[in-house]
Structure 1
Amino acid sequence: MIRHGEAAKSPTDDDPGLTALGHQQAERLADQLNVRYPAGRGVRLMSSPKSRARETAEPIASLWQKPLEQLNDVIEIPSPEGISLAQRGDWIQAFLKSSWSDLTITQDTWRSGIISALKSIETRPTNNSDRADTTLVFCHFMVINAVIAEIRQDTRIAQFRPDYTSQTRLSLDDDVLTIVELGQERHAPHSIR
Structure 2
Amino acid sequence: MHEIVLIRHGEAAKSPTDDDPGLTALGHKQAEQLAGHLNVLYPGGQGVRLMSSPKSRARQTAEPIASLWQKPLEQLNDVIEIPSPEGVSLAQRGDWIQAFLNSNWNDLTVAQHAWRNGIIRALKSIESRPTQTSGPVETTLVFCHFMVINAVIAEIRQDARIAQFRPDYTSQTRLSLDNDVLTIVELGLERHAPHRIQ
Q: 1:27-66 to 2 correspondence within 5 Å?
A: 27-66=32-71
- Aligned counterpart in structure 2 of residue 69 of structure 1, from 66, 74, 79: 74
- Aligned counterpart in structure 1 of residue 12 of structure 2, from 7, 10, 19: 7
Q: Which amino acid aligns with 1:100?
A: W
Q: Does residue 122 of structure 2 align to residue 138 of structure 1? A: no
- What is the rounded CA distance, in whole Å, between the counterparts of 1:55 and 1:5 in structure 2? 8
1:139 Cα offset (Å): 0.0
1:114-139 deviation line (CA, Å, top 9, x unaligned): 00000000000011222110000000
SS at match of 1:69: strand
- Aligned counterpart in structure 2 of residue 120 of structure 1, from 107, 116, 125: 125
Q: Report the equivalent of 1:90.
A: 95
Q: Which amino acid aligns with 1:10?
A: S
Q: Which amino acid aligns with 1:188?
A: A
Q: Does residue 168 of structure 2 align to residue 163 of structure 1? A: yes
- Aligned counterpart in structure 2 of residue 188 of structure 1, from 184, 193, 198: 193
By relative contact order (CA 8 Å, sep 6+), the higher-ranking structure is 2
In percent, how many aligned pairs have the same letter? Answer: 84
TM-score for the superposition, normalised by structure 1: 0.99
SS at match of 2:31: helix
1:72-117 deviation line (CA, Å, top 9, x unaligned): 0000000000000000000000000000000000000000000000
- Aligned counterpart in structure 2 of residue 24 of structure 1, from 18, 24, 29: 29
1:16-72 deviation line (CA, Å, top 9, x unaligned): 000000000000000000000000000000000000000000000000000000000
- What is the rounded CA distance, in whole Å, between the counterparts of 1:86 and 1:27 in structure 2? 30
What is the CA RMSD across the aligned residues, in angstroms?
0.4
SS at match of 2:177: strand
Structure 1, unaligned runs of 5 or more = none
- What is the rounded CA distance, in whole Å, between the counterparts of 1:131 and 1:49 in structure 2? 24
Q: Which amino acid aligns with 1:167?
A: Q
Alignment coverage as a number of residue pairs: 193
Q: Which amino acid aligns with 1:67?
A: P
Q: Does residue 133 of structure 2 align to residue 99 of structure 1? A: no
- What is the rounded CA distance, in whole Å, between the counterparts of 1:160 and 1:67 in structure 2? 30
TM-score for the superposition, normalised by structure 2: 0.97
- What is the rounded CA distance, in whole Å, between the counterparts of 1:8 and 1:130 in structure 2? 37
SS at match of 2:131: coil
Q: Does residue 85 of structure 2 align to residue 80 of structure 1? A: yes
